[in-house]
Structure 1
Amino acid sequence: MRAATYDSYASDNSRLTAGEAPDPKLGPSEVLIEVRAAGVNPVDWKVMSGGLDAMMDAVFPVIPGWDVAGVVRALGPDTPEFAPGDEVMAYARKNVVHAGTFAQYVAVPAVHCARKPAALGWSEAGGLPLAGMTAQRCLDRLEAGKGDVLLVHAASGGVGSFAVQIGVDRGARVIGTASESNHDHLRELGAEPVSYGDGLVERVRELAPDGVTAVADFVGGQLDATLAVLAPGGRHVSVADNSVEQHGGHWIWVRPDGAKLAELAAMVERGALRVDVARTFSLDDVGAAFDESRSGHTRGKLVITP
């Protein structure tokens, strides 16, 4: 099969190539997915730089990618959940960095998969799992819902935009930080936008004089602002700053879970969740996708389409 690979850690794209790679082996309770789309996430190039080496072993050459949407082509032993031809999506992170989703085929545990909603195209489905489930897990941990005033840092980003939609769907009042150019986009999603940077605390306090009851941080470096606007008894989480744990917050890591992904699929089907795709790339252009992701200025998902 064809795949994008790198043969050693690198902080740039110098070790990244596209070419032939061995077909995946298919173990018990796994499905072999023909990849139609695979979302690009910042963690992909951070892993390539060695950023998670202290947490996860890497077996080189590595195929990057943790998101996937595609068609089931084969089943491992004892896998009654799916059949060949099923259209599925998954957050396909494994415990060892090696056989990712930027390839023509990937083997994924069946319990990590959910059926692709008919309302999503392939690119949208490929961009949903990791970012959508990260937002979902954060709001689950916050128990955010009716009666809450939820502040989302980096609300127009890949994860933040899902958090806004999930928060609104659960009945929370959502305030989202973003550059002014993205304010109309946040209003479309149901949030009240505020500009980030100097004066953020005052701007949030103008909207919520009694403070916010929950905060989800998707960018890092926001702890002081979070604590300054958090109401007594409020809850906060971050995916980017583990120091929140020293101040009563939670550091969040999303986990593969097909049942939770199916909840997002149900939201899509009833029109409560949308996936915006900014641009798609071929396997030969994964490096360009990583460069665009590194820029930090993309609104919507970047997606590899093998």
Structure 2
Amino acid sequence: FCGSGSMGSNGTYAEYICVPEGIAVKKPQNISFEEAAGIPSAGLTALQSFKRMNLALTDSILITGAAGGVGNVFIKLLIAKGFTNFVVTAGNEESIKSLLNLGVRPEQIINYRKEAIYEAAFVLNGNKKFDIAVDLVGNNVAEIAAKLLKINGKYIDVTNFSTAESRGILFSKGATIHNISNYAYGIEKQYDYYKKGLSELNHLVENEIITAPHIDVIGGLSKETVDKALKILRENKTGGRKLIMKIN
């Protein structure tokens, strides 16, 4: 498996693509090729986010959109490394169920369709602002996450969907902003980033420290399958599963 989705190509909607040898790593032996296909993009993004935060066990963390592909792996890394002081947001019962199955406690989950994120998160964090905000949603949610961050806190931007309002709030708080990009390493041809990251994810999965993302094989390689997948993504109905096309 490899990190091809971040190498500046138009994606992997093809039977075959050409990738640098340096980004190909042997997949975990205890999972299928279909499961392995769900790891690189979300896994590398989650791993980079986790490492660049330079967490302390006492840090409080807000994670928006935690039930998606990146959030799924990120939560697994947090729990595997002993971090428990976090609050997450989700927007439907399927997403909430997937988070509970990961080991997130019910009292750590905010259903943003039923509760106001700002007020609920503030209370769940002991009426205090958060040390770290991990934004996996962007747009107006980025503004809420920015408001919930403490002065000089760390803001992890995974989406590139920040707004002028959220950037202004973060500047006024003197926040440290970490823009997460796997693509950057491909531009500079720093292929060791992909090899090291995927090798670490391989180790974590093979040793059952974390599990591979849940997947949904939605069809073979065709325009119809792509249209189906994009519709599921637009309607936010993945339930934390990675959508996989299978080459027959």
TM-score normalized with structure 2 length = 0.78
2 CA distance for matches of 1:187 and 1:117? 25
Deviations 1:87-118 (A, max 9, x none): xx1111465535x4333322211221221001
Offset at residue 262 of structure 1 (A): 1.3
Contact 1:153 1:217 (C-alpha < 8 Å) held by counterparts: yes
Secondary structure of 1:278's counterpart equals strand
What per-residue deviation string (whole Å, max 9, x for no partner) do you get for residues 108-165 of structure 1?
A: 1122122100122111100110011111112222223522222211011111111111
1:264 and 2:201 correspond = yes
Kindly provide the CA deviation profile for residues 63-110 of structure 1, in whole angstroms up to 9, marking residues without a partner as x.
xxxxxxxxxxxxxxxxxxxxxxxxxx1111465535x43333222112
Native 8 Å contact 2:129 2:148 kept in 1:
yes
128-137 vs 218-227, which deviates more?
218-227
1:208 corresponds in structure 2 to 125
In 2 relative to 1, CA 186–93 (structure 1 residues): closer, same or farther, beyond 3 Å?
A: closer
Larger radius of gyration, structure 1 or 2?
1
Tell me, yes or no, if the aligned pair for 2:134 and 2:155 is still in contact at 8 Å: yes
2-structure distance, mates of 1:238, 1:268 = 25
- Partner residue of 2:149? 230
Match status 1:119 vs 2:30? yes
Distance 2:138 2:23 in 1: 28
| Residue 108 of structure 2 corresponds to residue 195 of structure 1 | no
Task: Give the aligned partner of residue 67 of structure 1.
Answer: none
> Between the two proteins, what is the percent identity of the paired residues?
24
Structure 1 residues 143 and 302 mapped into 2: Cα distance closer, same or farther (>3 Å)?
same
1:166 equivalenced with 2:107 (yes/no): no
SS at match of 2:2: strand
Unpaired segments ≥5 residues, structure 2: 187-193
Counterpart-to-counterpart distance in 2, 1:121 and 1:144: 32
Which residue of the other structure, out of 243, 250, 268, is the alignment partner of 2:178? 250
Report the equivalent of 1:76: none
Greater share of residues in strand: 1
Kindly report which structure 2 residues correspond to 1:287-298, keeping only aligned pairs within 5 A, or say none: 287-298=227-238
Runs of 4+ more than 6 Å apart: none
Relative contact order: is structure 1 or structure 2 higher (C-alpha 8 Å, sep ≥ 6)?
A: 2
**For structure 1, which runs of at least 5 residues remain unmatched after alignment?**
1-88
**1:3 corresponds to:** none
* Aligned-partner residue type, residue 207 of structure 2: R
Which amino acid in 2 is paired with 1:208? N
TM-score (norm 1): 0.64
Matching residue's letter, 1:263: E
Query: Which stretch of the first structure deviates more once superposed, 241-250 or 291-300?
Result: 241-250
**What is the rounded CA distance, in whole Å, between the counterparts of 2:47 and 2:38 in structure 1?**
14
Structure 1 residue aligned with 2:20, among 106, 109, 113?
A: 109
- d(CA) in 2 for partners of 1:218, 1:186: 15
CA RMSD of aligned residues (A): 2.2
SS in 2 for 1:115: coil
**Does the 8 A contact of 1:137 with 1:252 survive in 2?**
yes
Residue 245 to residue 268, structure 1, CA distance change in 2 (3 Å): farther
The offset of 1:234, in angstroms, is: 2.0
Sort the Cα spacing of 1:245 and 1:225 in 2 relative to 1 into closer, same or farther, 3 A. Answer: closer
Q: Is the 8 A contact 1:239 1:252 kept in 2?
A: yes
Distance in 1 separating the partners of 2:215 and 2:242:
4
Partners of 2:102 and 2:214 in 1: CA distance? 11
**Whose helix proportion is higher, 1 or 2?**
2
Do 2:29 and 2:206's aligned partners in 1 also have CA atoms closer than 8 Å?
yes
